[in-house]
Amino acid sequence: MPRAADSEVVVDAQGRGGSERAWCWYYWADHGWATPVAAVLVGPWMLALADTAVGKRGVLVGVGPLVLRADAFPSAMVTLAAIVQLLVLPLVGARMDARGATKRGWLAGSCVAGSAVCVGLALTHGGAWTAAGVLFLAGSLAEGVSDLTWQGMLPELATPDRLDRLSARGTAVGYLGGGLVLAVSLAVVDLHGSLGLSKAAAVRWCFVVAGLWWLGFGLPALARLRPAARGRAIAPERTWRRLRADWRVLTGEPNSARYILAYLCFGDATSAVVGLASTFLTNTLFHDDPAAATPFLFELILMIQFVAMAAAALTGVLAARLGAKRVLVASLVLWSAVIIYAYAGLRTETGAVVAGALIGVGLGVGGTLARSLFAAMVPVGREASFFSLYEVTSQGTAFLAPLLFTVVVDATGSFRQAILSLIALFVAGLVLLVRTDTTAAAAAAAAQPAAPATPAG
């Protein structure tokens, strides 16, 4: 297996600084979907289309006693997107590693596809909830492939002692990009009258802006991105056999397996809060009126982006002084407090701002350190495969939390009870993380046999 010093020489020879900047810049572009679309627009938009079609508590789909009502449609689509990605992303990651495929090619494909989905969402209207749901599934899958590929490049760009620092930098730049594209979208919504648009038309244009942002910044970043291959894992070349081999490696190291299980819980719950917050607030504070909710949601998410950016920028310093695991544990305690507050104390827009500020801190710290801790546990040559398993539990792609949310809303009609149910996953993840020896997991990953490989970018 190549030594860390050897890997650093390879990266330096290819212009490590330039590739690191391009890697961060792509995350700036990627947030064209993650922030204005996934976090703000698409949930209330699907809710409005479903309400238009059948009414607030109307039945969209029914099979015997099982029914899907309009107000549960957004969380149900998040659940379905999670299941699709759970089935697809591990295969994508295994194929990428097995074939030595260019990661930049996968990033370019997902960038183009995701941008097209944004434009497609802008064309939905009236009661076209089915079309919006299908487009959301496609966009979520494109985002999932993009994220697993981007994150899989982290151990190829940074040596172990620099993982926290580069992860923090990428996270901060991503949130800055998300905040700026959200500010542009907010201006479009606020100035819709001056632009000669209805508010609904302004929201549609925001979908277009998001797609152009991802495409316009993403492709130039990829032209400068040159990660260095660390080596090739000694493993079968066929995708299914490679996937089974990777699974055996992961589950064979108990601390790595425990960390993945912990992240399945707290990453799932974090993604659900981000993905469903706009729907929760639209229901709780604005009585399911997305036109009234959209300006406030834009401003709230904009504030969250910049708080998260600041928190991410400070995370590398905190991790160096206190230890990455300790800081991550503290962030999970903070998330649990946010859930309790949302259930019991959030009654006004001011309360939503308080909760949003805490969410921003949790996102900036948790997203940075969860990624860098896991990157240290990835064996040489298994970057895409391992990060595909990581990705299905993040960015709204895991299914336990949104499924739990959907079941509670469908049964009770209470979004407050649904949000409270997520605390069980945060607590479970916290307990598992405390019991994980991350140092031992990193050592086990470094001990995995590997063969040299040519760079696969």
Per-residue pLDDT tens digits of the chain, which is 457 residues long: 333 333 333 334 445 668 899 999 999 999 999 888 987 788 889 988 998 888 877 878 877 777 888 878 887 888 788 888 888 888 888 888 766 557 888 999 999 999 999 999 999 988 889 999 999 999 999 999 999 899 888 888 888 888 899 999 999 999 899 889 988 888 888 888 888 998 889 989 999 999 999 999 999 999 888 876 665 655 556 667 777 777 788 778 899 889 988 988 888 788 778 777 877 888 888 877 777 787 788 788 888 888 999 999 999 889 989 999 999 999 999 999 999 998 888 888 898 999 999 999 999 999 899 999 999 998 887 888 788 877 765 544 456 777 778 788 778 777 888 888 888 889 999 999 999 999 999 998 888 876 455 444 4
How many C-alpha atoms does 66 have within 13 Å on its Cβ side?
3
Give the type of residue at 311: A
Please report where in the chains the tokens 């240290």 appear, as a residue: 376
pLDDT the model gives residue 134? 95
CA distance 275 to 82: 12
Spatial contact of 98 and 238, defined as CB atoms under 8 Å apart: yes
> CB within 8 A of 409, min separation 6: which ones?
71, 72, 75, 415, 418
Q: How far apart are CA 104 and CA 21, in angstroms?
A: 15
| pLDDT of the residue at 110 | 95
What pLDDT was estimated at residue 398?
54
Residue 4 confidence (pLDDT): 38
How many angstroms separate the CA atoms of 70 and 217, rounded? Answer: 36
Residues 292, 285 contacting (CB under 8 angstroms): no
β-pair partners for 196 = none
- What is the pLDDT, as a whole number, of residue 6? 38
The full set of domains in the chain, from first to last, is 15-227+240-446 (1.20.1250.20)
Answer whether 0.95 is exceeded by the pTM: no
Residue 40: DSSP 8-state: I
Q: 417: closest CA among 408, 407, 425? A: 408
Burial of 305 (0-12, 13-18, 19+ CB in 10 A): buried
Cα(45)–Cα(103) distance, integer angstroms: 33
**Beta-sheet pairing, 232-233 with 66-69:** unpaired
Q: Which residues, 6+ apart, have CB-to-CB distance to 40 below 8 Å?
A: 182, 185, 278, 294, 297, 298, 301
